Amino acid sequence: MSYNGRLLADARAELERIRQENEKEHSLREQLAYSKVEQLGLLDARLRSQMTELVRVTVARRPDMMQRIREIEEENLELQARRAEMLTEAGFPMDYLDDIYSCEKCHDSGVFEGKPCSCLQKIYNRLLTAELSPIMLDGNEDFANFDLSFYPAEYDFTLSASPRDVMRLVLDRCRSFAEDFPKDVPNLLLRGGTGLGKTYLSACIAKVVAEKGYSVCYDSAAFAFEAFEKQKFSRDPEESERSAAKVSRMLDCDLMILDDLGTEMVTSLTVSALYTLINTRLISRRPIIISTNCSNEELAKKYSPQICSRILGEFKILPFCGSDIRLLKKSR
């Protein structure tokens, strides 16, 4: 598994927050216990000075070193027992003053056996999925849950196949895209009518690719182009900075998903934004997935010839067919 640096840094910061919380809780417990059991504070101070003593004895290496170490150990056991007694007598659990760790494996350091600990990975994965939440319609999007039975099995003469067979191929293509990513994957154009599963399959791909540790950026065309516009024209410096950051993420991320192309208001500005997005990513060989309801003719009418020739020449087109699954789900 490889990691997205920015998200990994965020995950580390979160783990650090957890560590500090635990430390705070620990010192609160100490305050409470010490105020309830007066002797306990003294005893803990004695335990700490024993540790210093142990270090001193070991470093000094005098002839009676072993003897001294044994003595300290004995006294230590005695003090520990005494301490446990004090705690339980005052009604505290025996481990009440132990260090608190959310992860016993790495003691909240995030590193276990020289590798990122599973607790850090868990936080990282949560951040990844949170980042993809706008594309996750109900969070269940997964290749395994993609239901082919929504697509008619009857032969369709215009398709020369049944919609289900066509969609089985589309599903296969999307699955291999996600599995092979980033090696030799084509750009994809998911095309078809409303409610046929284009956004759904984009989300399935996004999930797999993100879980492999690649950065995925998702947006509908309308919002994506709005960011291009705002970075240029917003009068609010904060907004234009935010938009500029978003634009550079769309240009640089490992996988860009541009949803619903053709539903936005087309202006010369959106056309130039689309050109920049496609062209920049083609040049740097970073894949892009576009979904649209538009036919080639409609694309040609809305956007420039340069854009259409790039889409037709550089994208693998996947035709979605069948009937609106939003409606089918309602009637089922």
Of 146 and 218, nearer to ligand ATP (C-beta) is 146
Total Cβ atoms within 10 A of residue 48: 10
Q: Whole-number minimum distance, CB 298 to Zn ion, in Å?
A: 52
Shortest Cβ 100–Zn ion spacing (Å): 14
Q: Least CB distance from residue 17 to Zn ion, whole Å?
A: 14
- φ and ψ at residue 190, rounded to 5 degrees: -90, 115
Residue nearest to Mg ion (CB): 199
Q: Which residues bind ligand ATP (CB under 6 A)?
A: 137, 146-147, 150, 194-200, 260, 293, 325-326, 329
Tell me if 146 sits within 8 A of 220, measured CB to CB. no
Q: What is the nearest approach in angstroms of Mg ion to the Cβ of residue 233?
A: 28
Among 199, 231, 243, 292, contact with Mg ion (rule: CB under 5 A): 199
Residue number, 6 or 105, with CB nearest to Zn ion: 105
Q: Enumerate residues 81-100 that contact Mg ion by CB under 5 A.
A: none
Rounded CA-CA distance 90/17 in Å is: 31
CB of 194 to Mg ion, least distance (A): 8
137 makes contact, choosing from Mg ion, ligand ATP, Zn ion, none, with CB < 5 to 8 Å by partner type, with ligand ATP
Using the contact rule CB under 5 A, the part of the chain among 109-117, 191-199, 235-243, 308-316 near Mg ion is 191-199
Which CB sits closer to ligand ATP, 146 or 181?
Answer: 146
Question: Shortest Cβ distance from residue 106 to Zn ion (Å)?
Answer: 3
Cα(171)–Cα(189) distance, rounded to whole angstroms?
Answer: 13
Using CB distances below 5 to 8 A depending on partner kind, what does residue 200 bind out of ligand ATP, Mg ion, Zn ion, none?
ligand ATP
CB within 8 A of 37, min separation 6: which ones? 86, 87, 89, 90
> Considering beta carbons, is residue 131 or 260 the nearer one to Mg ion?
260
Residue 5 or 134: the one with the smaller Cβ distance to Mg ion is 134
CB of 192 to ligand ATP, least distance (A): 6
Residue nearest to ligand ATP (CB): 197
Could you give phi then psi for residue 128, rounded to 5 degrees? -60, -50
- 103 touches which of Mg ion, ligand ATP, Zn ion, none (CB within 5 to 8 A by kind)? Zn ion
Q: Could you tell me how far CA 225 lies from the centroid of its own chain?
A: 24
CA–CA separation, 300 vs 310, rounded Å? 11
Residue 73 binding: pick among ligand ATP, Zn ion, Mg ion, none (C-beta 5-8 Å cut-off by kind)? none
Binding-site residue total for Zn ion (CB under 5 A)? 5
Q: Does 220 bind Mg ion (CB under 5 A)?
A: no
Q: Which of residues 111-140 bind Zn ion (CB under 5 A)?
A: 117, 119
- What's the distance, Cα to Cα, between the start and end of the chain in Å? 40
Q: How far is the CB of 29 from ligand ATP (least distance, A)?
A: 48
Contact set with Zn ion (CB under 5 A)? 103, 105-106, 117, 119
Contact set with Mg ion (CB under 5 A)? 199
